[in-house]
Chain A
Amino acid sequence: MNTSRRTFLGLVGGGALAAGLAACGSSGPKSTPGSTTGAAAGSGASYWFLTGQPQQGIREAQVKRFNDANSGSQLKTTEFQNDAFKQKIKTAIGAGQGPTLIWGWGGGGLKSYVEANQVEDLTDFFSQNAKLKDSIFPSAFGAATVNGKAYAMPVETVTPIVLFYDKRAFEKAGAEPPKSWGDIMDLVPKFNAKGIAPFSLGGQSRWTNMMWLEFLFDRIGGKEVFQNIYDGKANSWSDPSALKALDEMQKLIKANGFIKGFSSITADSNADQALLFTGKAAMMLHGAWTYGNMKSSGGDFVTGGHLGYMNFPPVDGGKGDPTDTVGNPGQYLSISSKASAADKETAKKFLANNTLDDASVEAWVKSGNIAVAKSSKDKLSAITDKNDSEWLNFVYDTSANAKNFAQSWDQALSPTQAETLLDNIAKLFQLSISPQQFASNMNAVIGQ
C-alpha cells in the first residue's frame, strides 16, 4: 500500500486500528541498534518516522547516507506504524520525550506544537540556506509557517487531489470527460442509466468527502473563502459562496452522483479505488497517492491506458482559479526545541544535506512520486514507462502551476475544528443536516 498522510488518516479513521493494536503488542517500534525506544533529548539526535514502502526505504537510505558522511554526529532512527506513530509522537512531545526530528503533516498539528513551544523556529535556517529554500516548491511552505515564521521544512512528496476517470466507462456511455461542474451534473443521469455509478467514494472515512468540499469552495468562492476560515474570521462558514458550495454538494448527492452505499465504504481498504478500476464507477476524486495502488492492484487498468485524470473542473460563474489545487503540499520535518544544541546542529545538517538531495529526489520520482523539490522535473525524462511518465508530468505540472495549493482542511485546521468538520461533513453527505446547519455548527468552533 502506498502510504501517505491520506492513507494514514484513513487508517486512523477506520479499519486498520487492528494494525495499530497489533503494533502495541508485538510489532512495536523498531529501533536501530544502539538507540533506545523513545530516545529522549540529550542521548544523541533521534528521528522517528513511519514504516511502509516505498517511503520507508527512502527514509532509511537518507539516514544511512547521513550517518556514513558524518561519523561524529550520528542520527538514530525509530520506525513506527502509522497509527502507533500518531499516538506516540503527541504523547512523547507532551512529556518532553520527543525525538529531535519530528516528522509530521504541518498545518494545525504543527501550530499546536508551536503554541506549546515544542518546535524550533527555522526562519534563520532557511535564510542561511537560501538555495535549499529556493529548490522547494514555494506552495509547500504555507503549511510549515505559523505567524509568519517557518517551523518545519517541507520534505518528501507533493500529492494533489485529482479527478480520476475510467476511459472505458466514458466510451460505454458515449460521453466526454467533464469540462465544468455543469457537465458533471449532466453526466450523472447518463452513467446511472448505463448501470455505472457516476462517482466512487469511500464515505465512511469522511476526509474523502471533504476533498469534494475543498474543491467546490475553491472553484465557487476562490481561495479567500477558506482563508477566512483558517484565519478565524467569524461566520466565515456562512459566506454565500460557502453555502452555495454546500448546496451544490447536496444536489449531487440527491441526484445519485455517488455509488450506492458510499457511506459504508472506507478508503483504507482501497475499496473506493477498486470500484473505479473494476468498472463499477466511472469517476473518482482522490489523492495522487492512489495511482500506485491502482497500477499494482487494478490489472491492466493503468498499464492498458484506461485510466484518465484531470484537475477538478471549474464551476460556471465561480470565482476560483481553475489551476488551483488542494491536497498535501508536502510532508514536514521540525526540530524539537527541547533537544540539545549539538543535536539541533545534527538535525539541521540532516535537513540541509539529506532530505531533498539529488539521490532522494531521484528515489522519490522512481517510486512514482513527485518530490517537493523543483528538481523533480529533471528526473522525469529518465522515466521510461509511458503511463508513469505522463502521470508524473501531470502531477508535476498540476503542483507547480497551481496558483494556490491549499492544504487539506483536516490538516490545516486545529484538531478540534478538524474533528467537528469531519463529523459535520459526514452528516452533510448523509443529508441529515442542511447547508445552513452545517455552516452554523462550523461557525461555532471557528478559531478554537
Chain B
Amino acid sequence: MTATAPPVAPPAGRTASARAGSSAAGRSGPVAWMVLPALLLFVVFGVVPLVGVLVLSFTQWDGLGAIHAAGFSNWKSVLTDPQLPHSILVTFEVMILSWAVQTPVSLLLGTFLAGRQRYRAFLAVLYFIPLLLSSAAIAITYKALLDPNFGLGAGLHLGFLTQDWLGQSNLAIGVVIFIVSWQFVPFHSLIYQGGVRQIPATMYEAASIDGAGRVRQFFSITVPQLKYTIITSSTLMVVGSLTFFDLIFVLTAGGPGDATRVLALDMYKRGFMSNQMGPASVIAALIVLLGLALALLLRRLGGSTTASQQEGA
C-alpha cells in the first residue's frame, strides 16, 4: 500500500539547487540517458493510464459495448452525488485517525528499537511480521477473529470482545483504523528507527551532562531531530491511505451500509460492480488530484528549511 505511494523527492532546498545550478548544466548530458528506462516505464504504466482515465471520465462506457462521448455529464453527476461527500469524509476520517494512531506508536517503537541491545533486534523482527502479510490475508483473519458468533470473543467467552464489530458504523471504522495501523506501524517504526540512529550520540551526551532525563531528551532532541522523518512517514501514510482498498474491501466491503466506503472503494464499485466506467474514472481522477495536493502540502510544511538537517551544516 505505502509502496504504491509516489516516491517523495528528498526535500530539495532552494539553496542546494542554486548551488548546483552552474555545474549541473555540464554534467546532465551523459547522465540524462540513464533515466530513460525508468522514464519509459513511468510513461507506459503511469502517464498513459492516467491520460486514459482522464479521457474515460468524459465518456459513457459500460465496459462492453461502444464508448460514447459524454462531455461533462459524468463530472456533473459525480460531483453532485450525495455519496461523494460521504466517501471523501470517510476517506479523510480513515486518513487522519490512522495517522494519529500510527505516528506516536511508530515514533515510540522506532526510538525504542534504535537501542543497541540484542533482544531489541529480535523484537524488531517480531514487530515487523504484520507488514509481511498480505492485506487480504490480514482482513480475512481479522474477520474470522472478530466474528460475533464464532470469533475470538465467543470462543474465549470474553463478553467485551463479543461485539458486532463490523456490523455497526462506528465500530467498523474503528476496526479498520486499528487493522491499518497494526499493519503499517512496523514499516513506519523502521523509518523512525533509521532516523533515530542518525541522530548524533554527542547530542544525548551533552543533554545528559546538562541533567536532562530520558523523557526530556526524547522531546527536546529526538522529536525535533526527526522532523523530516516525521514528514516523510506522514506523507507516505497520508498519500498511501488514499489508496486503501484491498483491506477494506475484504473486511467490510464498504459496509455496514456505506460506513467504510472510502474513495477507492467507491471507484471500484462504480466501475466494476455497476459497470459505470465514466463516473468511476472521475473518482479516480479526483483521487489523483487529492493525492497530489496532499503530497505538495506536506512538502511545503517541511520543505523550506532543509539546510540544518545534516550535522554541522
Contacts and interface: CB of A to CB of B under 8 A. Distances in A.
A418 B172 CA distance: 24
Given A17-B250, A427-B257, A116 B65 contact: yes
A261 B167 contact: yes
Interface stretch (B41-49, B134-142, B293-301): B134-142
B165 interface: yes
A118 interface: yes
Interface in B57-94: 62-66
A439 interface: no
Given A261-B149, A416-B276, A93 B256 contact: no
Nearest to A118: B64
B136 A21 contact: yes
Contacts of B66: 116
B246 A21 contact: yes
Interface in B131-160: 134, 136-137, 139-140, 143-144, 146-150
Contacts of A206: 255
The CB with the most chain A CB atoms within 10 A, among B165, B166, B250, B257, is that of B257
Given A17-B136, A18-B250, A430-B257, A261 B65 contact: no
Contacts of B137: 18
Interface in A402-446: 414-416, 418-420, 423, 426-427, 430, 432
A97 B258 CA distance: 35
A91 interface: yes
A374 interface: no
B253 interface: yes
Nearest to B83: A423
Majority SS at the chain A contact face: helix
A415 B163 CA distance: 33
B149 A17 contact: no
A426 B272 CA distance: 19
Contacts of A18: 134, 136-137, 139-140, 250
A264 B164 contact: yes
B275 A415 contact: yes
Contact of A263 (B63, B150, B255, B269): B255
Contact of A259 (B149, B257, B272): B149
B63 A91 contact: yes
A116 B64 contact: yes
B147 A265 contact: yes
A15 B65 contact: no
Interface in B200-233: none
A414 B165 CA distance: 32
A427 B83 CA distance: 13
A73 interface: no
A17 B62 CA distance: 23
Nearest to B146: A264
Nearest to B256: A263
Contacts of B172: 264
Contacts of A426: 255-257
A65 interface: no
Given A94-B63, A275-B149, A15 B140 contact: yes
Contacts of A420: 274
B153 to A, nearest CB: 11
B78 to A, nearest CB: 14
Interface stretch (A266-274, A282-290, A321-329, A344-352): A266-274
A214 B134 CA distance: 37
Nearest to A13: B253
Interface in B256-287: 256-258, 269, 272-276
A176 interface: no
A204 B63 contact: no
Contacts of B143: 15, 266, 269
A17 B256 contact: no
B252 interface: yes
B249 interface: yes
A128 interface: no
Contacts of A91: 63
A371 to B, nearest CB: 30
A204 B149 contact: no
A112 interface: yes
Given A115-B65, A426-B256, A204 B167 contact: yes
A269 B252 CA distance: 14
A87 interface: yes
A259 B136 CA distance: 27
Contact of B167 (A87, A262, A432): A262
A241 B30 CA distance: 77
The interface centre, meaning the residue of A15, A259, A269, A414 with most chain B CB atoms within 10 A of its CB, is: A15
Given A18-B136, A264-B166, A432-B257, A269 B250 contact: no
A385 B203 CA distance: 81
Contact of B252 (A87, A112, A204): A204
- 3 shortest interchain CB distances as A-B pairs: A116-B65, A264-B167, A261-B148
5 contacts: A115-B65, A264-B148, A264-B167, A271-B147, A416-B275
Given A259-B149, A264-B165, A265-B149, 20 more contacts: A17-B136, A17-B249, A18-B137, A93-B64, A94-B63, A113-B64, A116-B62, A117-B65, A204-B255, A260-B148, A261-B148, A261-B149, A263-B167, A264-B146, A269-B144, A415-B273, A419-B274, A423-B258, A427-B257, A430-B257
